[in-house]
Structure 1
Amino acid sequence: MDCIIIDDDATARLITRQLCLNSGKINVIDEFSSAIEAIKFLNSNTVDMVYLDIHMPTFSGFDFIKTLKNPPKIVLTTSDKNLALEAFEYKSVVDYLVKPINKERFDKSLDKLFSISNNVEESIIEKKETPEHIYVNVDRRLVKVHIPSIFLIEAKGDYINIKTKEKNYIVHSTLKKIQDKLPTHLFFKVHRSFIINTSEIIDIEDNTVLVNKDVVPVSRSNKGELMKKLNLL
């Protein structure tokens, strides 16, 4: 993973560079004592991440983040412990390291950084590989169904009821078979008889979830995993 270091303190830059070198995982492309010089560099170069000091004369680390339209992943470094809340308001910030940075804390930050990167890459790959449609057999006809339009699938004996905003499809199949065809970033089996499109959830109360106009039971064993999938505040 390629990075640059931005810090007006030469000693701090040296320490960060050495930590990167010792990790064997981070390649330091360049370092800058000025955020403005770093912006000029990024106008014609790309990196995976930036180690960025917050307090710098003239142009702060926060000013740097605001200037970039599509900033890389950023790990903030500072001697001030009181700016963490403000720091994490920026989506590009993945961690906040308080100086002096020790190896143990630096390594934990790396683990977090690589975990986020891997999850993003897996999500991108999955979305690229996921088909937009599925063909289902209805009354001896193969019917094309737009996958994102499906909000609920319910098992009914030897059949499943695929519900979309336009219409429902009764298909001779099982939840297991259709679950294997659906993208996991969108669909989740909340109960032995129900699969829901998590992007269509309206609200959750106790052990039920409202999807479109359907109230769907959520098994206790699946509720915790469902909550992890949601973008909770």
Structure 2
Amino acid sequence: MFRYLIIDDEPIAHRIIENYCENLPYLEKKGNCYNAFEALQFLNEDTVDLLFLDINMPKLSGFDFLKTLPNSPKIIVTTAYKEFALEGYELNVSDYLLKPFSFDRFLKAINKTFDSAQNKKSSVALPPNETEPNINSFFLRGDKKHYQIHFEDLLFIEAYGHYTKVYVKNEMIVSPQKISDLEQLLPKFDFIRTHKSFIVAKNKIKQIEGNRILIGGYKVPIGQTYKENIIMLF
């Protein structure tokens, strides 16, 4: 479980982030702060793993607040001011969300942050006797719903015009999320791009025959520019 704190002087921003986080069971809200001084007091008494931090706040800006923290948690900046993006990355923020941001973009920031935390073995403050969460799924938007897709159930993804088709065991889901965005959510060592329109799960490949991959009862093409990816499997 990752614990988060929202720091923003706009109540509506808190509601949006909270609603997005409710779709992600591995996130737990620890508090709401409406200025940097409230946040400083909170962090003196408690710890979190992730801050959603606004920049333009009264008396003390988000970045000035961030500079006061000796050991900051992971930071996702949420702001309406794109001109401060460079300064944010110089302060090692995990991602920079420009308001208003969609759930898709929010989810990409969350997965990017967690992937960085795991791969770099960063010193995220976790509760006693609790280990880092095993991120083994993501949420997919489709048909006015959000589906939780477990990596172990995912067969392959197909670009379908402005949509994608996501094939899982016994089901196919059509989503408006782009295949390039979904690719960012997948574990790089478990999935492979075989065509500009296809991403497949390596462990679901039954057979490779010529320019086709057999997965279950499906035949997935191998694009000319992606053949090297296939050769790397052997």
TM norm structure 1: 0.51
In structure 2, the partner of 1:36 is: 37
Distance in 2 of aligned mates of 1:18 and 1:67:
29
Structure 1 position 27 matched with structure 2 position 28: yes
Q: How does 1:33-112 map to 2 (within 5 A)?
A: 33-91=34-92, 93-112=93-112
In structure 2, the partner of 1:172 is: none
Q: How does 1:150-169 map to 2 (within 5 A)?
A: none
Distance in 1 of aligned mates of 2:14 and 2:31:
10
SS at match of 1:42: helix
Distance in 1 of aligned mates of 2:19 and 2:65:
24
Task: Please report how far the alpha carbon of residue 21 of structure 1 lies from its aligned counterpart in structure 2 after TM superposition.
Answer: 1.2
CA separation of 1:69 and 1:83: change in aligned 2, threshold 3 A: same
Q: How does 1:155-194 map to 2 (within 5 A)?
A: none
Residues 23-63 of structure 1: CA deviation (Å, up to 9, x unaligned): 22211110111111111110121110100000001111011
Distance in 2 of aligned mates of 1:9 and 1:45:
23
Residues 135-185 of structure 1: CA deviation (Å, up to 9, x unaligned): xxxxxxxxxxxxxxxxxxxxxxxxxxxxxxxxxxxxxxxxxxxxxxxxxxx
Letter in 2 for 1:120: K
Runs of 4+ in 1 over 4 A off after TM superposition: none
Letter in 1 for 2:81: D
CA separation of 1:122 and 1:13: change in aligned 2, threshold 3 A: closer
The higher-RCO structure (CA 8 Å, 6+ apart) is 2
Distance in 1 of aligned mates of 2:56 and 2:44:
22
Task: Please report how far the alpha carbon of residue 123 of structure 1 lies from its aligned counterpart in structure 2 after TM superposition.
Answer: 10
Distance in 1 of aligned mates of 2:123 and 2:56:
35
Letter in 2 for 1:59: L
Letter in 1 for 2:101: I
Letter in 2 for 1:14: R
* Structure 2 segments unaligned to the other structure (5+ residues): 125-234
TM norm structure 2: 0.50
Residues 181-230 of structure 1: CA deviation (Å, up to 9, x unaligned): xxxxxxxxxxxxxxxxxxxxxxxxxxxxxxxxxxxxxxxxxxxxxxxxxx
CA separation of 1:62 and 1:123: change in aligned 2, threshold 3 A: closer
Distance in 1 of aligned mates of 2:34 and 2:112:
26
Distance in 2 of aligned mates of 1:5 and 1:120:
24
SS at match of 1:88: helix
CA separation of 1:103 and 1:66: change in aligned 2, threshold 3 A: same
Task: Please report how far the alpha carbon of residue 122 of structure 1 lies from its aligned counterpart in structure 2 after TM superposition.
Answer: 8.4
In structure 2, the partner of 1:173 is: none
In structure 2, the partner of 1:10 is: 11
Letter in 2 for 1:90: L
* Structure 1 segments unaligned to the other structure (5+ residues): 125-233
Letter in 2 for 1:84: A
Structure with max Cα Rg: 1
SS at match of 1:74: strand
Letter in 2 for 1:119: N
In structure 1, the partner of 2:118 is: 118
Distance in 1 of aligned mates of 2:30 and 2:123:
27
| Sequence identity percentage | 44
Aligned-pair Cα RMSD in Å? 1.8
* Higher helix content, 1 or 2: 1
SS at match of 1:121: coil
Residues matched between the structures, number: 123
CA separation of 1:120 and 1:34: change in aligned 2, threshold 3 A: same
